[in-house]
Amino acid sequence: MSKVAALGESSVREEEKALKVLWVSKNRMVREELRQLRAYAAKQGLKLVLDSYTGSVPSVEWLVRKKILAGGFNVVVAVLPLTMIARLIELGRQYDFEVWRPKVERLHFDRKIPCPDYDGSRDWVSPSVDANGEPVFAHKRFLYFEKVLSVELSTEPIEVE
């Protein structure tokens, strides 16, 4: 067997042993998110391979074709509108990747920064407005990751006449 063929097989075996995660969000990952991904990969006996995409997503099909399949990702952590998440789940079943989301809680709105409860490893603040339209900062905290199994939207038609 040639050295090239042996190297090719070796890299395939290594890649199969990896948890390949694509982070799709306009926000950067906080330290606790990275820690939990590393811990999960280690628990599964896998190496973590992580990449991120922070640009706009023109369509879910584009994201799957240009980013997910092209990169060989088996997990996509996505912060996207629910309709896009629903389609991503459908395509994940078809192309064999999982869709996860970070479980986040909004702690409160602050008028000043820094908040005394701020934890730099898992918190962030983002500009927002309160119920009166006044500028505030939304203090959010990452809790854990969830695998998204489905998105259900129940509707009924609005009768006009």
CA 29 – CA 104 distance, rounded (Å):
12
Record the pTM: 0.84
Residue closest to 86 by CA, chosen among 15, 3, 152: 152
For 83-96, write each residue's pLDDT tens digit: 999 999 999 999 99
For 120-144, write each residue's pLDDT tens digit: 999 999 899 988 999 999 999 999 9
Give the domain ranges of the chain: 3-103+143-147
**Cβ atoms within 10 A of the Cβ of 101, count?**
16
Contacting residues for 154 by C-beta, under 8 A, at least 6 apart: none
- The verdict on domain 3-103+143-147 having CATH code 3.40.50 is yes
For 7-35, write each residue's pLDDT tens digit: 444 444 555 699 999 999 999 999 999 99
